[in-house]
Amino acid sequence: MRNANFALTLAICILVVPIPSRSESMNTHSILLVANKAEHTLGVVDAAVGRQIAVIPEQGITGHEVAASPDGKLAYVPIYGNSGVGKPGTDGRNMVVIDIAAQKIIGNLDFGHGVRPHCAVFAPKDGLLYVTTELDSAITVIDPHALRIVGTIPTGQPESHMLAISPDGERGYTANVGPGTVSVLDMKARKNIAVIPVSGQIQRIAVSVDGRMVFTSDQTKPQLAVIDASSNKVKTWVPLLAPGYGSAPTSDGHWLVVAMPNANKVAVVDLRAMKVAENIDVPAAPQEVLVRPDGHVAYVSCDASHKVAVIRTTDWKVEKLIEAGAGADGLAWAGR
């Protein structure tokens, strides 16, 4: 394990905010993880009761995103730094590993230099962890068990901020924010095979459940780009009320849920008709969308309001609001 001494120091020094005991509150079947970026913590939410039950500090520098291990036991938080994409600030160079049940940092991976690691994604089949490393214009490939770097995939573009992987694990797609492009990656060959021009600036990225479409949000106009994965070209645009941000498809492939931070709303796009079917009011500055594995609920982190909106996919109603931390952003499901 890389930087074992540093990881041990972190684990010893970590201070966990007092909360209900683990035996009282840890329901491992319904754990939602929230990256509270403005307070530099990882929030652990019991989604069944709708309450944040743990707040785990990230040692003073913030992580914007989080990935849960497939068994739901560990959280991987890339430490991005204190700025936004393309803006001046510190350049994060490490990723911490958190034992969710123990509520403490148990490992650390040092990338060797400042890379602004941001989005971590477990591939659906190979068991590896892929992390966007913006300042290297690359995806870093990590063996999560040994906690070591085993390869890289060049994106060919700066500001490769977010990553989505196709359901079959064959293709990866990065949202390159400043250039306004999407890089298409061959995940097995670990190479960049295409760069798709989209707009002057884009944000976030998602792939349809059948792998045929890729979605990213135009930041210059209120519209969603729909990319044909077979041709690697923008196939159509879906008008929105305001520029979109994070998005996620429902498990039945019928809907795409899109956060619109400037409007304090969430759009529900009908992927058969390619148009917005619903616009849902949520708290201020919705950021990321996560659809629960059973498909019944969409969770939306709301940055400025310190909340996570819980939206039923059966009738598109906000069922409840969960209190999270300041700057709630990245989400991951660790339920088992």
Express each pLDDT in 25-55 by its tens digit.
567 789 999 999 999 999 999 999 999 999 9
* Phi (first) and psi of residue 39, to 5 degrees: -115, 10
Residue 314 pLDDT greater than 50, yes or no: yes
CATH annotation of 1-154:
2.130.10.10
Q: Distance (Å, rounded) from C-alpha 278 to C-alpha 286?
A: 16
The arrangement of strands across the sheet holding 223-228 comes to 202-207, 213-218, 223-228, 233-239
Model confidence at 320, in pLDDT bands (50, 70, 90)? very high
Question: Which pLDDT value is given to residue 204?
Answer: 98
Q: Are 117 and 91 in contact (CB under 8 A)?
A: no
Rounded Cα distance between 32 and 55, Å, is: 12
> How does the average pLDDT of the chain come out, rounded?
92
Q: What is the pLDDT of residue 123?
A: 95
- In the prediction, which pLDDT does 26 show? 62
At 293 the pLDDT is 95
Order the strands of the 171-176 sheet from edge to edge: 160-165, 171-176, 181-186, 191-197
CB 64 within 8 A of CB 35: yes
pLDDT for the residue 29:
85
Alpha-helical (H) ranges within the chain are 4-13, 22-25
Q: How many residues does the chain have?
A: 336
The string of pLDDT tens digits covering residues 184-229 is: 999 999 999 999 999 999 999 999 999 999 999 999 999 999 999 9
Buried b (16+ CB within 10 A) or exposed e, 146-185: ebebeeebebbbbbbbbbbbbeeebbbbbbbbbbbbbbbb
| pLDDT band at 8; cut points 50, 70, 90 | very low
The pLDDT score that the predictor gives to residue 68 is: 98
**What integer is the mean pLDDT of 171-175?**
98
Question: Cα–Cα distance between 137 and 189 in angstroms, integer?
Answer: 17
- Domain ranges for the chain: 1-154
Q: What percent of the chain has a predicted confidence (pLDDT) above 90?
A: 89
Place of tokens 């754990």: 31
Q: Is the pTM of this model over 0.85?
A: yes
Helix (H, G, I), strand (E, B) or coil at 189: coil
Percent of the chain with pLDDT over 70: 92
**At residue 143, does pLDDT exceed 80?**
yes
| The pLDDT of residue 59 is above 80 | no
Question: Cβ(53)–Cβ(59) under 8 Å?
Answer: no
239-249 as b/e, with b when 16 or more CB fall inside 10 Å?
A: ebebbbbbbbb
Least confident of 24-33, 159-168, 173-182, 325-334: 24-33
Q: Who wins on pLDDT, 13 or 80?
A: 80
Helix (H, G, I), strand (E, B) or coil at 290: strand
Pairwise CA distance, residues 86 & 83, whole Å:
8
